[in-house]
A and B are shown apart, each in its own frame.
Chain A
Amino acid sequence: MRVPPTLRTPVGLASGILLALLAILAVFAPILWGSQADAIDTDALLQGSSAEHLLGTDALGRDIYYRVLVATRLTLGLALLATIVGVLTGLVLGSLPSVLPRWAGRLVTSAVNIAVAFPGLLLALFFAVIFGTGTVGAVLAIAFAITPSFARLTQTLTASVSGRDFIAAARVCGVGRFRLLVRHVLPNIAEPLVINATLAAGSALTAFAGLSFLGIGVQAPSYDWGRLLGEGLNRIYLSPAPALGPAVAVVLAGLAFNLFGEAAASAAGRRQVARQRPEPASTVESASGEGLLTVRNLRVSFPGAQGWVTPVRGVSFTVGQGEMIGVVGESGSGKSLTALAVSRLVERPGVVTADRLEFAGKPLSKTTQRELGTSLAMVFQDPMTSFNPTRRIGRQLAEVSEVHQGMSRKAAFERVVDRLRAVRIPSAERRAKQYPHEFSGGMRQRAMIAMGLMGEPRLVIADEPTTALDVTVQREVLRLLARVREERSAAVLLISHDITVVAQTCDRVLVMYAGRVVEELPTAELFTSARHPYTTALLAAVPDLETDRDAPLAVIPGRPPEPGEIGAGCPFAPRCPVADERCRTEEPELKVIGDRHEVACWQEELVGGVR
């Protein structure tokens, strides 16, 4: 039997068991002990705890222990009833704005917003007075106290789902507003709603106990925990047990609901924790660098649901001084992770291991943060998210020099202006005082490169730097990178999914597939002598401005494997037109087949260059 994820944590399990016990008590206690709880014993009035009466007796000599047990049903029942009424009302109010005409929706939203501003308990007391003292009044009071926050939550969640394309798609198909809500919106927000309802049940329970305690909840002869607590409290200094019993019950039940809700919430946003970490042992970093960056057998692993997955499986390459290297591959090929590992940005729980990982002749693990900060620059795909939106561009760039080079504020700012000019940002001085949102996408990406130039970078790692940009801007950014390399003789590692971009800009190409380099060759030979079937297929599959419009595009059947799916053979074999038995059982290693040309394929001799 599969255990639901909520019950896999100790907290979830304990609170789950507690809730189950409470439910059992609620069902059976009145049947089993109902008569004992109501039995009046005039010989034992107002007694303290004794062997006969565990929690003592009340003013009519009734046993409080049994009364607490029996009261479980009423207490839980009323709390749940109040929660259900409150949650349903909140759900209706919260989803009305998406069904009603706009003006009516606004009205509902504003009303809910005002109601949210009132504290829940105050609202409950207010309603309790309006609806009159008694069970019905208390249920409605608590229900309506829960309503506003639930309505607000529903509104917020609905709004976030409504922005997604599948809602627009359904609208284009002519799906009506009501059906849209019931079929598309509610199922997608159910999970957080249910979790919050569980938490609300916990607070409803305690709030109800509060109302009964104050005498405006359950009225005699009915009794719940709050009422029992109120009755027992008058003589707490004489005999504490009659008050403590129901108090403990309230606390336990409240805790059970709240903790269960918390456990469910964390299970919903669950992070799997695998036990065994892979061995980081083989870091034999012997310093004997021939290039600027030397990577040998780099592996990056992450804990997954079924043990560790390794999206980068033994990548080796060298970047020479002032060289421009392109890394191409599809999403999931491990190209970005390779870049992150090289810049020491893979965060726990990810684990990076390598036989050699050297930068400028020194093992990366021994390079100080300052050295790395000034000699290695990183440019990310989305410059909007890589700048802090609340700080001026100039300040963010200056920080690099202040922290890593110990510059004064003024000197750092001068350098910022100089570097912004270097990346051809017009009126750099004024621009430096602006915020990231005042920059266009291409401008931000240039500022990002300028940030990398604040130090004296020897290596610039650019991870899909132009993917979010338009072609005209893309060309400017690529030219800028090429210029940086020429003027400062910095090496560039350009990561891209677009093989044409790489072919235009780089000296050498690394083609990655399923976490490995499958081919490495000079770009000049890319179109004539690529030998790996994946490289040639990739070249044929990308349309450019010369593609024959009358012939179908070349396609690569299937899809790239997930890191967990990679078996023994060549990972490309299932999609490969020339794969044979050996390809399916044995993974090929990179072998040298020409000048600076390496390929990992058993069939490379069958594959000629394309076109």
Chain B
Amino acid sequence: MSELRFEHVSLQYGSLRAVDDVSLTVPSGQVVGLVGESGSGKSSLAATAVGLVPPTSGQVLVDGADIQRMRPRERGLQMVFQDPYSSLDPRMSIGESIAEAMPRGTGKRAEVARLLELVNLDPSRAGSLPARLSGGQRQRVALARALAGRPKVIIADEITSALDVSVQGAVLNLVRDLQRQLGLSMLFISHNLAVVRYVSDRIAVMKDGKLVEEGTAEQVLESPQHSYTRELLAAAPSRHTSLWEDAS
């Protein structure tokens, strides 16, 4: 049970300010959904959270400790990536990939089997290469690998957008079950408002590198404050509205 906190995080790439003074808290055991357009800085924020890119200014804290001062294994942060076809090493069996993320001195074989079981995959497939798995199965393996690091916080970056709709539902259900079962804190990034709404307790909206709105899922969806949030809600395809009317 831990809390992830961004404190005035900015990230500058050359002349581009990808993340602009973002302060956001993922409370312990809760899911914060982060929505926004492509290029709004969602994934850049995620990259600073797991230490792939150091923030230009500001801090990322896990339980009050700055992650920049910790070794990767001490941070208790794990990430699941968008494309399950590129996030698993094609030359490594899925069991090895999962075992690699485990802390030293874990009984690896049994733990791999337990994790595969946890994500509803047959443990006997630990020796398979990713090429033998479908997209949805690969994303489960990626989830199992993230769990193998015994994380306190998981960052999920567009984890269903590369999946087919018939598979997406199963992965979302799994994410929700695991999160509740293990009491994980989670930052769930997606451009799909319907998906974010389904998994999140709180919702944050980003635009042009800035955080424009943040609140409980009900607040943000029922009474959006920022005009951009209203625009997003109106534009989300819905079966009950036509193309021409605005939902809100």
A487 within 8 A of B: no
How would residues 237 to 267 of chain A score, 1 for a CB under 8 Å from any chain B CB and 0 otherwise?
A: 0000000000000000000000000000000
- Shortest C-beta distance, B150 to chain A (Å), equals 11
Inter-chain contact B221/A555, CB cutoff 8 Å? no
B121 within 8 A of A: no
* A471 in contact with B165 given A168-B52, A171-B52, A555-B170 (CB within 8 Å): no
In the complex, chain A residues whose CB is within 8 Å of the CB of B97: 166
In the complex, chain A residues whose CB is within 8 Å of the CB of B116: none
- The docked-state distance in angstroms from the alpha carbon of A541 to that of B136 is 14
Inter-chain contact A553/B100, CB cutoff 8 Å? no
A: number of interface residues (CB 8 Å): 54
- Shortest C-beta distance, A323 to chain B (Å), equals 16
Which partner residue on chain B sits nearest A523 by CB separation? Answer: B239
Binds B, one of A106-114, A215-223, A494-502, A601-609: A494-502
* A173 in contact with B100 given A547-B194, A559-B136 (CB within 8 Å): yes
How would residues 46 to 57 of chain B score, 1 for a CB under 8 Å from any chain A CB and 0 otherwise?
A: 000011100000
Binds B, one of A90-98, A183-191, A388-396, A587-595: A183-191
B188 within 8 A of A: no
Which partner residue on chain B sits nearest A503 by CB separation? Answer: B239
Which partner residue on chain A sits nearest B157 by CB separation? Answer: A165
In the complex, chain A residues whose CB is within 8 Å of the CB of B88: 166, 169
Task: Give the one of A175, A472, A547 with max B CB within 10 A.
Answer: A472
* A-B pair number, CB within 8 angstroms: 165
Which partner residue on chain B sits nearest A611 by CB separation? Answer: B239
Inter-chain contact B241/A553, CB cutoff 8 Å? no
A482 within 8 A of B: yes
Inter-chain contact A174/B71, CB cutoff 8 Å? yes
- Shortest C-beta distance, A370 to chain B (Å), equals 33
- The docked-state distance in angstroms from the alpha carbon of A552 to that of B166 is 14
In the complex, chain B residues whose CB is within 8 Å of the CB of A479: 243-244
- The docked-state distance in angstroms from the alpha carbon of A346 to that of B183 is 50
Chain A contact surface mostly:
helix
* A165 in contact with B83 given A173-B145, A498-B237, A553-B198 (CB within 8 Å): yes
B219 within 8 A of A: no
In the complex, chain B residues whose CB is within 8 Å of the CB of A473: 37
B: number of interface residues (CB 8 Å): 62
B173 within 8 A of A: yes
Task: Give the one of B148, B236, B247 with max A CB within 10 A.
Answer: B236
B38 within 8 A of A: yes
- Give the residue of A172, A474, A538 whose beta carbon is less than 8 angstroms from that of B235: A474
B203 within 8 A of A: no
How would residues 225 to 239 of chain B score, 1 for a CB under 8 Å from any chain A CB and 0 otherwise?
A: 000000111011111
Inter-chain contact A174/B72, CB cutoff 8 Å? yes
- The docked-state distance in angstroms from the alpha carbon of A547 to that of B165 is 15
- The docked-state distance in angstroms from the alpha carbon of A501 to that of B235 is 11
Inter-chain contact B235/A537, CB cutoff 8 Å? no
In the complex, chain B residues whose CB is within 8 Å of the CB of A557: 170
Binds A, one of B9-17, B18-26, B74-82, B106-114: B74-82
Inter-chain contact B142/A169, CB cutoff 8 Å? yes
B89 within 8 A of A: yes
B131 within 8 A of A: no
Inter-chain contact B173/A331, CB cutoff 8 Å? no
- The docked-state distance in angstroms from the alpha carbon of A501 to that of B77 is 36
In the complex, chain A residues whose CB is within 8 Å of the CB of B50: 172
A433 within 8 A of B: no
- Shortest C-beta distance, A415 to chain B (Å), equals 28
B197 within 8 A of A: yes
Which residues 141-177 of B sit at the A interface, judged by CB distance below 8 A? 142, 145, 148-149, 164-170, 172-173, 176
Inter-chain contact A505/B235, CB cutoff 8 Å? no
- Shortest C-beta distance, B167 to chain A (Å), equals 7
- Shortest C-beta distance, B157 to chain A (Å), equals 9
- Shortest C-beta distance, A449 to chain B (Å), equals 15
Inter-chain contact B87/A166, CB cutoff 8 Å? yes
Inter-chain contact B197/A471, CB cutoff 8 Å? no
In the complex, chain A residues whose CB is within 8 Å of the CB of B194: 542-545, 547
Inter-chain contact B92/A172, CB cutoff 8 Å? no
B124 within 8 A of A: no
Inter-chain contact A541/B169, CB cutoff 8 Å? yes
In the complex, chain A residues whose CB is within 8 Å of the CB of B72: 171-174
Which partner residue on chain B sits nearest A540 by CB separation? Answer: B169
How would residues 471 to 508 of chain A score, 1 for a CB under 8 Å from any chain B CB and 0 otherwise?
A: 11111001100100000000000000111110111000
* A538 in contact with B165 given A165-B87, A471-B191, A504-B242 (CB within 8 Å): yes
Inter-chain contact B164/A497, CB cutoff 8 Å? yes
A330 within 8 A of B: yes
Inter-chain contact A546/B89, CB cutoff 8 Å? no
* A472 in contact with B134 given A479-B244, A541-B165 (CB within 8 Å): no
B240 within 8 A of A: yes
* A170 in contact with B100 given A165-B87, A184-B89, A541-B168 (CB within 8 Å): yes
How would residues 125 to 164 of chain A score, 1 for a CB under 8 Å from any chain B CB and 0 otherwise?
A: 0000000000000000000000000000000000000001
B181 within 8 A of A: no
In the complex, chain A residues whose CB is within 8 Å of the CB of B165: 330, 497-499, 538, 541-542
B62 within 8 A of A: no
- The docked-state distance in angstroms from the alpha carbon of A503 to that of B37 is 23
In the complex, chain A residues whose CB is within 8 Å of the CB of B198: 543, 547, 549, 553
In the complex, chain B residues whose CB is within 8 Å of the CB of A172: 50-52, 72, 77-79
Inter-chain contact B197/A545, CB cutoff 8 Å? yes
In the complex, chain A residues whose CB is within 8 Å of the CB of B247: 545
- Give the residue of A168, A174, A330, A549 whose beta carbon is less than 8 angstroms from that of B166: A330
In the complex, chain A residues whose CB is within 8 Å of the CB of B242: 504
In the complex, chain A residues whose CB is within 8 Å of the CB of B241: 504
A527 within 8 A of B: yes
- The docked-state distance in angstroms from the alpha carbon of A400 to that of B236 is 34
- The docked-state distance in angstroms from the alpha carbon of A441 to that of B232 is 17
Sample of 15 more A-B contacts, CB < 8 Å, known A501-B237, A504-B242: A165-B81, A169-B81, A172-B72, A174-B71, A184-B92, A331-B164, A471-B237, A472-B232, A472-B235, A473-B37, A475-B235, A498-B237, A545-B193, A545-B236, A553-B170
Closest 7 CB pairs of A and B: A174-B72, A174-B73, A165-B87, A470-B37, A553-B169, A173-B101, A556-B166
What residues make up the interface of A, taking CB atoms closer than 8 Å to B?
164-166, 168-175, 183-184, 187-188, 330-331, 441, 470-475, 478-479, 482, 497-501, 503-505, 527, 537-538, 541-547, 549, 552-557, 559-560
| Complex A-B: 24 CB contacts under 8 Å | A168-B79, A173-B73, A173-B145, A187-B89, A187-B91, A330-B166, A470-B37, A471-B235, A472-B235, A479-B243, A503-B239, A505-B243, A541-B166, A543-B194, A543-B198, A544-B238, A545-B194, A545-B233, A545-B236, A545-B238, A549-B217, A553-B173, A555-B169, A556-B167
